[in-house]
Structure 1
Amino acid sequence: MQVRRDVRLADLTTLAVGGPIERLVEVADATELVAAVREADEAGTPLLLLGGGSNIVAPDEGWPGDVVLVRSRGIERDGDSLVVQAGHDWDELVAHTVANELAGMEALSGIPGSTGATPIQNVGAYGQEVAQTITAVRIYDRVEKAERVLTPAECGFAYRDSRLKRDPARFVVLEVTFGLHAGRMSRPVGYAELARTLGVGIGEPAPLADVREAVIGLRRGKGMVWDPAEPDSRSAGSFFTNPIVPSHQAVEGCPSWPAGDGRVKLSAAWLVQHAGFGRGTRDGRVGTSSKHSLALTTEEGATAAELLAFAGRVIATVEEQFGVTLEREPTAVRP
């Protein structure tokens, strides 16, 4: 366990905003993670858990307590299941599954962040989401002060949501178990853009390596593969989730997909762009990516306040023009 006091949140997040940290605690395994959390809780110290820092808007005023940086690593295989430590780099895990011919998360290639964050957000892209493969999540319960294992049902997965996300102050993810499928072919491709890129039909499989390569190419073209040299990757990926609305509230011209129970999922990117915030729309040091209107990016010296104000204007304009309320995907952290 390493402790530092000379770090800013901006140094640890892909949006590169956020002020000074009172105390940074870097942990290397689940035992150290639980110990760090218990220490902070017992002392009544404000606690922020941080993995890859790719899905948060960190506060400009910094953090007046402990920031625990989760750096636990490790993958254990049991048949077609993988038990993965929370701090393990997500894309490294996906690359590992493709190299070892295990299908189920290949379309989630190129997503920055740590494995432990994926069940919280129910991370998804290109027709896959982690809820389709997660079989167990080992957590530390800060209320019960004990470790336990949650089943998928207990995780309460929903679109870009989970019970873990809805109660972030309670659950600390220690490791995640994934049930995958052995073979060199992917799971059925369920996303039209990816299917076209691969030259297959919707519902058909493709070689795992081809799917990974295609997804990374598509993401890179949208500035959504983290690269310190790429200004458009200075983001949190998609800043807004695709809104799900009753079918009668569908917006004319906006791409939509069935979402069950008489509802449809609308394209947030279309709504943002047609509300006047197309690619490359800037307001000072923040704005939309030059490659994709759904990603908000920052420039050197930008603040969280500037970014959230811009996002607020996007939300208000979309609601005014289309009667649809967008929701932020990244979490705006408050001290």
Structure 2
Amino acid sequence: MPEALPIPLAQLTTLRVGAAPARMIDAPTREELIAALRDVWADPDEPWFVLGGGSNLLAGDEAFPGTVIRILTRGFEIVPGAPEGYVRVRVEAGQNWDELVAWSVAQGLSGIEAMSGIPGTVGAAPIQNVGAYGQEIVQTLVEVELIDEETGDVSTVPASELGLGPRTSVLKHHYGSVAPRSAVVLSLTLDLAHVGHEPRVVADPRLRSALALTPDQAASVSWIRETVLAIRASKGMVLDDADADTWSAGSFFNNPIVAESVARTLPETAPRWPLGRVDDGATVIPLAQWDGQLPPPQPVERTVKLSAAWLIENAGLPKGYALPRSRASLSTKHTLALTNRGGATAEEVAELARFVQSRVAAEFGIVLMPEPVLVGVQL
């Protein structure tokens, strides 16, 4: 089990902040990853976390007092069992996500092309049900291979048992809460539709809208990938060493999901997307029970997803906003990204995040929750 010289997490995360941990282990193979985890878990008092691409992590300025295990496993293979018209692919957790997407598009496979340009590794995808422009990992995920902290056992878990929802799963450690299941992803399996390279009509209305396609307009998987990459680049969401707007953890806050009554308090211009079941208004009463009177209608409180970016901007925080003398700022391209303008500390990023939260809460009564994993940092 190769123990490595601890590297500052500022060198391993896209936000470019974070001190070196007390201990670091590199795990380039599945066997070494399993051995490292079991070794660390043998001491119940040993703090630990695993690190993939570092694209969804805000690490603190003080040294993490435990072990960081770097998941460096790579590779993917076609495996049997796919339904007709699909290709089943098993992928190691440490595989770079966008390299997988590029390969799938080159093979004429569909299902993850709209998630082009998302930084990080494959193992993170099911943890927060990664998605973009109408595609989510839940739509293609068959199963994941997990190792559980409690037992150290390795098991294959169907996607249906992961509680996949909007940027969440039973594996996700949300800010201020503990994941329902403490486990590490070793690999995952996807079913991707074999559609070839010719243009075809895009069925998903969200993807059509994002790409400005008409309902009957055709597009190839390669065109979709190229277009998504261009859109993401225009928002500073494709990693670029020369562009400080990409020195971020992507979208820093989750789009809040609130009761419909809360959404109604916002201005009409606030973007919103109804979720859950829509009542069709029909009431069915068996004839044997009909007394000539209709029962009073029961109120149905639906949930609504809001745009965190809209809330931030309309709380008076424009693109590029920074606190005085801070080296952290909102992206100049997209208000939902908190960026390191060069030499920022984790505390400067956290201070900006807290200020954004307070402004949105004061203006709209909604508390934004962070999307990245926070280690050694409090909001």
* Coarse TM-score class (shorter-chain normalised): over 0.9
Instruction: Quote the offset at 1:105 in angstroms.
Output: 0.5
The C-alpha deviation readout for 1:33-64, integer Å capped at 9, x for no partner, is 11001111114432110000000101111222
The C-alpha deviation readout for 1:97-130, integer Å capped at 9, x for no partner, is 1001110010000000000001001111111111
Q: Is 1:121 aligned to 2:128, yes or no?
A: yes
**1:9·1:62 contact (CA, 8 Å) conserved in 2?**
no
**1:279·1:293 contact (CA, 8 Å) conserved in 2?**
yes
Distance 1:296 1:202, change over 3 A: farther
Partner secondary structure for residue 269 of structure 1: helix
**1:98·1:106 contact (CA, 8 Å) conserved in 2?**
yes
More displaced 10-residue stretch of structure 1: 83-92 or 163-172: 163-172
Q: Is 1:214 aligned to 2:241, yes or no?
A: no
Structure 1 residue identity aligned to 2:214: G
Q: Which structure has the greater CA radius of gyration?
A: 2
Distance 1:86 1:211, change over 3 A: same
Structure 1 residue identity aligned to 2:37: V
Q: Deviation above 3 Å: which 4+ runs of structure 1?
A: 202-205
Partner secondary structure for residue 120 of structure 1: coil
**1:141·1:147 contact (CA, 8 Å) conserved in 2?**
yes
Instruction: Quote the offset at 1:168 in angstroms.
Output: 7.7
Structure 2 residue identity aligned to 1:332: L
CA distance in 2, matches of 1:332, 1:16: 14
CA distance in 1, matches of 2:39, 2:100: 30
Aligned position for 2:58 = 57
Aligned position for 2:250 = 237
Instruction: Quote the offset at 1:191 in angstroms.
Output: 3.3
The C-alpha deviation readout for 1:206-241, integer Å capped at 9, x for no partner, is 200000000000000000001112111000111111
**1:138·1:150 contact (CA, 8 Å) conserved in 2?**
yes
CA distance in 2, matches of 1:203, 1:311: 42
Structure 2 residue identity aligned to 1:194: A
Aligned position for 1:279 = 319
Partner secondary structure for residue 219 of structure 2: coil
Q: Is 1:24 aligned to 2:40, yes or no?
A: no
CA distance in 1, matches of 2:6, 2:37: 20
Partner secondary structure for residue 10 of structure 2: helix
Out of 314, 319, 337, the residue aligned to residue 295 of structure 1 is 337
The C-alpha deviation readout for 1:134-167, integer Å capped at 9, x for no partner, is 1101000111220011111211001000001142
Partner secondary structure for residue 162 of structure 1: coil
**CA-atom RMSD, angstroms?**
1.8
Partner secondary structure for residue 225 of structure 1: coil
Matches within 5 A, 1:1-335: 1-44=1-44, 45-78=46-79, 79=82, 80-166=87-173, 167=179, 170-184=182-196, 188-189=203-204, 190-191=206-207, 193-196=209-212, 200-201=213-214, 206-250=219-263, 251-252=266-267, 253-261=269-277, 262-283=302-323, 284-334=326-376
The C-alpha deviation readout for 1:69-110, integer Å capped at 9, x for no partner, is 111011111351110000000000011110011100100000
Distance 1:169 1:23, change over 3 A: farther
**2:322·2:352 contact (CA, 8 Å) conserved in 1?**
no
State the aligned residue count.
332
Instruction: Quote the offset at 1:248 in angstroms.
Output: 2.1
CA distance in 2, matches of 1:203, 1:152: 32
CA distance in 2, matches of 1:192, 1:245: 26
Structure 1 residue identity aligned to 2:360: V
Instruction: Quote the offset at 1:179 in angstroms.
Output: 1.1
TM-score (norm 2): 0.84
Instruction: Quote the offset at 1:259 in angstroms.
Output: 1.4
CA distance in 2, matches of 1:247, 1:297: 32
What residue ranges of structure 1 are gaps of 5+ in the alignment?
A: none
More displaced 10-residue stretch of structure 1: 256-265 or 121-130: 256-265
CA distance in 2, matches of 1:137, 1:51: 16
What residue ranges of structure 2 are gaps of 5+ in the alignment?
A: 174-178, 278-301
Instruction: Quote the offset at 1:169 in angstroms.
Output: 7.4
CA distance in 1, matches of 2:166, 2:376: 24
More displaced 10-residue stretch of structure 1: 19-28 or 230-239: 19-28
The C-alpha deviation readout for 1:179-207, integer Å capped at 9, x for no partner, is 111113575342355231xxx22586520
More displaced 10-residue stretch of structure 1: 295-304 or 279-288: 295-304
Partner secondary structure for residue 216 of structure 1: helix
Partner secondary structure for residue 53 of structure 1: coil
More displaced 10-residue stretch of structure 1: 316-325 or 154-163: 316-325
Report sequence identity in percent: 42
CA distance in 1, matches of 2:209, 2:352: 29
CA distance in 2, matches of 1:59, 1:151: 35
CA distance in 1, matches of 2:337, 2:180: 24
Return the structure number with greater helix share.
1
